[in-house]
Amino acid sequence: MGIVEEAHNLRVVGEGKRGVIVLAHGFGTDQSVWKHLVPHLVADYRVVLFDTMGAGPTNPDYFDFARYATLEGYALDLLAILQELGVESCIYVGHSVSAVIGALASISRPDLFSKLVLLSASPRYLNDVDYYGGFEQDELDELFEAMRSNYKAWCSGFAPLCVGGDMESVAVQEFSRTLFNIRPDIALSVAQTIFQSDVRSLLPLVSVPCHIVQSTKDLAVPVVVSEYLHKHLGGDSIVEVRAGPVQLCSPGIPLLPFISLRSYAAEPRPSPTGQNPAAPHHLHPITLTHSCPTSPPACSRPIPCGSPVGIDRSSTVQSSSAARRCRAPPASLNALRPPIPSSVSNPSPARLPRRQRRPPPRAPASHAL
């Protein structure tokens, strides 16, 4: 067993001929979070499962606090895993911070990724002058202090809030278990790395097609962030906004976003000249249904949050690589924005229409992974 395989508890299951899917869990969980999804994929794909460094099942002796002080360390780990397995191309499904980790890795090696499925991804959690991420610095400081002073008590309160259920639910109990399994000092270090990160400047360098999946009831990521990603990623992308929480560790997990991978996983769109282009493949337009909260109720949670809650009306949004805007203006993603100062709207910088845009720039040497 190689060091990469041992350090990340690497597993490959399934004998499918349609390609490779890599499943990467988010903060506070481990690869067991995918156990309800994997059975639906193994017939068609080879499925790669691993634990990110610092997760409960990993050996804490392998955790290098300096290496994992930035997300770059995790991106390098992902590339090492793909190299260890000899993966030449994969569909990458990343949840929470692992969505961003996959995006960063794709900047260095876009040839290794045919698609990125980004679940609850955020390029920055802190609010900024022209950006709404959901948190203020003093709120994050309070969160870190709560973790530092009594980690077990923090876990007990954080799990039901994050998952969106009571302590008796399977999803909350499973998330609580994986949270408790993380060594407290490592959990604090990872949380600080995640919540203080800012990769907005690198988004235009992500050229791999992306499927962005966001919940209207996400504790850490406001829905407006999915719109920001959609506008600023360098490659093609589609957005799917879901009314309910994305409970990966629940037996009742909504599988549509993942199973629908089969509808566009490896189908190149014909070029205007009628010839099939070479890689990369492009996403076909997909009609997405989501619900829009008109006025989120006041938040009574004991820890900071920035996500809207409550569903009042429904609408349909259609997105494609040729249209970076909603085709039904009254139901645009702007309707999902929580009440924030008028000066903060995550505006997109001036840019050419999508069809006239030049290819994304190559990553400068300082960003090479």
Catalytic residue among 218, 236, 237, 319: 218
102, 282, 360 from 34: Cα distances, Å: 17, 26, 33
Amino acid residing at 180: F
Classify the C-alpha dihedral 97-98-101-106 as positive or negative. Answer: negative
Other beta carbons within 10 Å of 43: 11
CA 321 – CA 302 distance, rounded (Å): 40
Q: Do you find a cis peptide bond into 280, omega within 30 degrees of 0?
A: yes
What are the two backbone dihedrals, phi and then psi, of residue 242, each rounded to the nearest 5 degrees? -105, 145
Residue 8 neighbours by CB under 8 Å, 6+ apart: 50, 51, 52, 53, 58, 77, 81
Amino acid residing at 330: P
CA 266 – CA 282 distance, rounded (Å): 9
CA 164 – CA 143 distance, rounded (Å): 18
> Could you give the count of Cα atoms lying within 13 Å of 130 in the half-sphere of its Cβ?
5
Residue 104 structure tokens: 């960063």
Catalytic residue among 44, 77, 96, 176: 96
Asked if 291 is an active-site residue, the reply is: no
72 neighbors 104 (Cβ within 8 angstroms)? yes
Q: Do you find a cis peptide bond into 209, omega within 30 degrees of 0?
A: no
CA 290 to chain centre: 18
Asked if 207 is an active-site residue, the reply is: no
Closest residue by Cα to residue 219 from 175, 253, 168: 175
282 neighbors 68 (Cβ within 8 angstroms)? no
21, 44, 282 from 17: Cα distances, Å: 11, 6, 20
Point out the residues that are catalytic: 96, 218
